[in-house]
């Protein structure tokens, strides 16, 4: 069994102090709506032939210096949430940075079934929790026996969505390489910023934390093309790769649930969407904050579980969401939209199986290069919220990596589904 030795724990502060007029950062409506849960992401890097003792000293120094520089531009990340979680006090208290040695090889750690080993690579008490010593971002650099490394980053969802976080990681990596970087544009300062008189209260929604299993399924580009062709033959119109993969995962997960329950249970899929490019005018790619929303796909009958039907619902749901977003960017309209959507989902949670999908495709996770090369695997920690699908681009080609989290009894059936395995490989070997 792998073990971990903590070498050091320190706080990294911005290289330049935040000006007084920027000390109070008001969160946007969507920031306030979003959970404070810490979202854990980890990047695995193979050894490039250097001595591991040299690696951990030199690379940690580089990471800390460039992180300090990057925090000067992302100054809210180094601050602290107020008690009401509506603002950040940008007091430059910094982010926590840990260094550790892990007694195992990198190849052992990248196996998604090795949950105990994976947990060693994240700071204790951070993953999926809603508070951690006040630090809004927590980083751990781990070095393996073979000299390979892992960089894990946990960030509170209150200040970033996945798109924001990859923007931060890309800028941090660029700073490490001393490449040109540009200051981010904070969404909360431009749109959806509540006025002092907004009586905005977010209803709480139970996320359904359970003892779950997370598995990695990889769809290569050729198999996705076959899946798209099959959907077209059944009546779908020019489906995207994300649409067909999402539809297949949802279909097979519903079938696994039905097999365990012994009868069909109505379901909905909550599909998260990055709205930056879908509003007019579109937001810049370097916009930071939460700017994702969702639509739902309802499946009330067994006959609605056909692939082409699910693909069609995904397409129409996205179109309706985009139409609504373009017309409702004013604060008051969004207040109404958020409240109505939350009430709708809260009612549905009691009567249906609920699935959630978030697509991170087209985000450059596999291009985060801290001088020592690109990662061979990027993933989240094993999930605790059941019935979730997280999609990412595969490292090469037009493939998709799907990280699927289900309860144990559903996963046992899901991972053996012949239709799924005709298009996806379960946890293929990651080559270091």
Centre a 10 Å sphere on the Cβ of residue 282 and count the other Cβ atoms it contains: 11
Selection from 415, 425, 385, 426 nearest residue 252 by Cα = 415
Q: What is the pLDDT of residue 322?
A: 84
Centre a 10 Å sphere on the Cβ of residue 265 and count the other Cβ atoms it contains: 14
403, β-bridge pairs: 216, 390
What is the three-class DSSP state of 6? strand
Task: Give the active site residue among 31, 220, 353, 369.
Answer: 369
Task: Give the active site residue among 31, 112, 157, 417.
Answer: 157
Q: What is the pLDDT of residue 280?
A: 79
Q: What is the pLDDT of residue 27?
A: 92
Sequence-separated (6 or more) residues with CB below 8 Å from residue 418: none
DSSP code for 225: H
Q: What is the pLDDT of residue 314?
A: 96
Which domains does the chain carry?
Answer: 4-189 (3.30.559.10), 212-426 (3.30.559.10)
Q: Specify whether 410 is catalytic.
A: no
Q: What is the pLDDT of residue 204?
A: 47
- H/E stretch holding 54 reads helix 52-73
With beta carbons less than 8 A apart as the criterion, state whether 14 and 71 touch: yes
Q: Specify whether 360 is catalytic.
A: no
| Cβ contacts of 330-335, under 8 Å, gap ≥ 24 | 331/29, 331/192, 331/193, 331/194, 331/195, 331/198, 334/29, 334/192, 335/29, 335/198, 335/200
400-407 and 212-219 beta bridge pairing: antiparallel
With beta carbons less than 8 A apart as the criterion, state whether 88 and 27 touch: yes
- H/E stretch holding 43 reads strand 38-45
**Angular region, 49: left φ>0, alpha ψ -120 to 50, beta rest:** left
149-156 and 137-144 beta bridge pairing: antiparallel
| Cβ contacts of 424-430, under 8 Å, gap ≥ 24 | 424/217, 424/218, 424/219, 424/223, 425/217, 425/218, 425/220, 426/215, 426/216, 426/217, 427/111, 427/112, 427/113, 427/215, 427/216, 427/217, 427/218, 428/218, 430/44, 430/107, 430/110, 430/376, 430/377
E-assigned strands of 307-369? 353-359
Please tell me the distance from the alpha carbon of residue 343 to that of residue 98, in angstroms, as a whole number: 41
Q: What is the pLDDT of residue 202?
A: 47
Please tell me the distance from the alpha carbon of residue 398 to that of residue 217, in angstroms, as a whole number: 14
Selection from 102, 151, 146 nearest residue 1 by Cα = 102
pLDDT tens over the chain, length 432 residues: 789 999 999 999 999 999 999 999 999 888 888 889 999 999 999 997 765 555 678 889 999 999 999 999 999 999 999 998 899 999 999 999 999 999 999 988 987 666 788 999 999 989 999 877 789 999 999 999 999 999 999 999 999 999 999 999 999 999 999 998 888 999 877 666 655 555 444 444 455 556 799 999 999 999 999 999 999 988 888 999 999 999 999 999 999 999 999 999 999 999 999 988 888 788 888 999 998 888 899 999 888 899 999 999 999 999 988 887 766 555 456 556 666 666 666 655 667 899 999 999 999 999 999 999 999 999 999 888 899 999 999 998 789 999 999 999 999 999 999 999 999 999 998 876
26, β-bridge pairs: 87
């Amino acid at each position: 069994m792998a073990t971990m030795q903590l070498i050091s724990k320190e706080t990294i502060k911005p290289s330049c102090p935040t000006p007084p007029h920027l000390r109070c950062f008001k969160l946007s409506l969507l920031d306030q709506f979003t959970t404070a849960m810490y979202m854990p992401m980890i990047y695995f890097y193979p050894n490039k032939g250097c001595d591991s003792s040299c690696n951990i000293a030199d690379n940690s120094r580089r990471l800390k210096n460039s992180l300090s520089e990057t925090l000067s531009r992302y100054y809210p990340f180094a601050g602290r949430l107020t008690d009401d979680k509506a603002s950040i006090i940008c007091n430059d208290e910094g982010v926590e940075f840990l260094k550790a040695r892990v007694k195992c090889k990198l190849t052992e750690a990248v196996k998604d079934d090795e949950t105990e080993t994976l947990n060693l690579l994240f700071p204790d008490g951070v993953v999926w929790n809603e508070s951690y010593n006040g630090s809004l971002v927590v980083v751990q650099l781990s070095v393996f026996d073979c000299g390979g490394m892992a960089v894990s980053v946990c960030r509170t969802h209150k200040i970033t969505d996945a798109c924001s976080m990859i923007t931060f990681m890309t800028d941090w990596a660029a700073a490490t390489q001393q490449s040109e970087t540009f200051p981010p544009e904070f969404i909360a300062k431009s749109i959806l910023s509540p006025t002092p008189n907004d009586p905005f209260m977010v209803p709480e929604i139970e996320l359904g934390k359970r003892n779950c299993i997370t598995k990695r399924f990889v769809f290569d580009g050729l198999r996705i093309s076959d899946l798209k062709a099959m959907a077209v033959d059944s009546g779908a119109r020019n489906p995207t790769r994300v649409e067909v993969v999402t539809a297949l995962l949802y279909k097979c997960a519903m079938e696994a649930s039905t097999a365990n329950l012994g009868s069909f249970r109505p379901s909905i899929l909550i599909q998260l969407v990055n709205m930056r490019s879908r509003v007019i005018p579109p937001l810049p790619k370097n916009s930071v904050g939460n700017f994702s929303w969702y639509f739902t796909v309802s499946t009330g009958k067994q006959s609605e579980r056909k692939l082409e039907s699910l693909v069609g619902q995904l397409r129409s749901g996205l179109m309706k969401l985009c139409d609504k977003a373009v017309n409702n960017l004013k604060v008051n309209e969004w207040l109404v939209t958020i409240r109505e959507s939350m009430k709708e989902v809260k009612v549905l949670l009691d009567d249906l199986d609920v699935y959630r999908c978030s697509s991170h495709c087209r985000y450059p996770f596999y291009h985060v290069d801290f001088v020592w090369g690109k990662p061979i695997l990027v993933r989240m920690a094993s999930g605790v919220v059941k019935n979730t699908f997280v999609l990412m681009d595969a490292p090469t080609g037009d493939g998709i990596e799907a990280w699927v989290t289900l309860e144990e009894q559903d996963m046992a059936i899901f991972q053996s589904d012949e239709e799924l395995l005709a298009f996806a490989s379960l946890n293929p070997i990651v080559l270091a």
